[in-house]
Amino acid sequence: MLEPFTGPFADLGEERTQGTELAIEEVNESDEFDFEIEYETYDTQSDPEDALSEASEAVQSQGAQFLTGCISSDVALSMNDFALDNEVLYTPGAADVAITGERCNEYVFRFETSTAQIAEAMAQWTYEEQGDQIFYHLADYAYGESVRNEFESRMEELSDDYEAVGETRAEFGAGDFEAYITQIEGAADEADAVVIGSTGEDLTTFLSQAADRGLPDEIPIVTTTASFTPVRAGAGDAATGVFSGVRYYPDLEMGDNQEFVEAYEAEYDEPPDNFSRVGYDSIRMMVRGIQEAGSDDPTEVADVLGGLEQETIFGPNEFRECDGQAVNPVWMGELVEGDDLPDVEILMELDGEEAIPACEETGCER
């Protein structure tokens, strides 16, 4: 289990770990399986080199056959390559399109919703409700670049008049966004919305500083991940009025989600969020692949896991054979005033087939 237990994504890493551990506990206590899962945790510190070192320790010294985790897209992409080189199965926690796109391989299967899937809902809603003149503020690493590319390609399909009126980029872990906010304010008269491609502590800090400056009163803020509980909790009232793509919310009446919510709340005394559901069903889907293969050899499991329909919190789902991506539904939401933290009000929904790119468009060759 490779997660960022320290650094800007530590809250997200802890959340994903809780979902992962709950799934492992259920598997080990179930009569459905004739095996148990043993695991160790490793801190990636959101750094590719640290993650590779920890993965090497897990595989070469501890004999790990299956890897899961990594919130940072840069780190997850390094794990993609590691999984292929070492023939171990990997279920990532990051959203960059390349993970199940041009950097895919036959050992990688992702239950996390990709940037391409969430951008489908975001672009449609933004075009219909806000307009087609867009300013971008991006985290300056793989994920931010992925948000720009995926959102922009869809806006170009939707509108002949689409224009990117400006862009700012902040390094990962930046703590001061004042200069970027000033640039966004300067473009507010010509931009219909500002699209934010960042997450975790970076997004929380940006939203707090933007609210202090009154930016939401000048231009709609559209994000990929402000619906995440740690972001809403960290930003507090500063997140109210922000629009966000939504990958998961606990009230979903789909699949066995309500059973998951009940078990998670009983274990951790709090509702699950996106990364906890990713950790949870990444394990459950992987384990059913082991059961289907009748083997714990990662290559044999990978051979049967693609296209294997399974029951998930989203209902029947699968990792596609063509790219290893789960066919997840997506939503668009607005953060509204809540009791302890802003709530998410759902504005639109796309089902899994509507949201996921066609296989031939992904760039994946498995």
pLDDT tens per residue across span 265-304? 999 999 999 999 999 999 999 999 999 999 999 999 999 9
d(CA 23, CA 141): 31
* Residue 241 belongs to a domain: yes
* Residue 324 belongs to a domain: no
d(CA 361, CA 342): 36
* Residue 323 belongs to a domain: no
Query: What pLDDT sits at residue 172?
Result: 87
d(CA 137, CA 133): 14
Residues 238 and 264 in one domain: no
Give strand pairing partners of 170. Answer: 139
Tokens linked to 185: 């304010």
Query: What pLDDT sits at residue 292?
Result: 97
* Residue 366 belongs to a domain: no
- Is the separation of the CB atoms in 2 and 194 below 8 Å? no
Q: Measuring CA to CA, which residue among 227, 252, 174 is closest to residue 235? A: 227
Residues 155 and 282 in one domain: no
Residues 77 and 97 in one domain: yes
Burial class (CB in 10 A: 0-12, 13-18, 19+), 258: middle
Residues 268 and 312 in one domain: yes
Residues 51 and 177 in one domain: no
DSSP 3-state assignment of 60?
A: helix
d(CA 335, CA 244): 8
| Count of beta carbons in the 10 Å neighbourhood of residue 126 | 24
Element (H, E) at 291: helix 274-293
Query: What pLDDT sits at residue 181?
Result: 98
Query: What pLDDT sits at residue 20?
Result: 98
Query: What pLDDT sits at residue 89?
Result: 98
Structural domain of 192 = 116-246+329-361
* Residue 294 belongs to a domain: yes
Residue whose token pair is 């170009």 = 156
* Residue 313 belongs to a domain: yes
Burial class (CB in 10 A: 0-12, 13-18, 19+), 337: exposed
Query: What pLDDT sits at residue 8?
Result: 85
Where the chain has pLDDT below 70, the residues are: none
Residues 13 and 137 in one domain: no
Query: What pLDDT sits at residue 299?
Result: 98
- Is the separation of the CB atoms in 231 and 200 below 8 Å? yes
Residues 242 and 133 in one domain: yes
Query: What pLDDT sits at residue 173?
Result: 85
Residues 129 and 205 in one domain: yes
DSSP 3-state assignment of 325?
A: strand
User: Per-residue DSSP letters for 139-190?
Assistant: ESSHHHHHHHHHHHHHHHHH-TT-EEEEEEEE-TT----HHHHHHHHHTTTT
d(CA 256, CA 273): 15
Residues 242 and 276 in one domain: no
Residues 238 and 354 in one domain: yes
User: Which residues are CB-contacts of 286 (< 8 A; sequence separation ≥ 6)?
Assistant: 66, 68, 89, 91, 109, 301, 305
* Residue 176 belongs to a domain: yes
Query: What pLDDT sits at residue 51?
Result: 97
Tokens linked to 320: 């596609």
Residue count (the chain): 366
DSSP 3-state assignment of 77?
A: helix
Residue whose token pair is 């606990």 = 250
Give residue 203's identity as a one-letter amino acid code.
L
d(CA 188, CA 193): 8
Burial class (CB in 10 A: 0-12, 13-18, 19+), 36: exposed
Residues 93 and 139 in one domain: no
- The total number of structural domains in the chain stands at 2
* Residue 322 belongs to a domain: no
Residues 88 and 182 in one domain: no
Task: Sort strands 330-336 and 343-350 into parallel, antiparallel or unpaired.
Answer: antiparallel
CATH number at residue 44: 3.40.50.2300
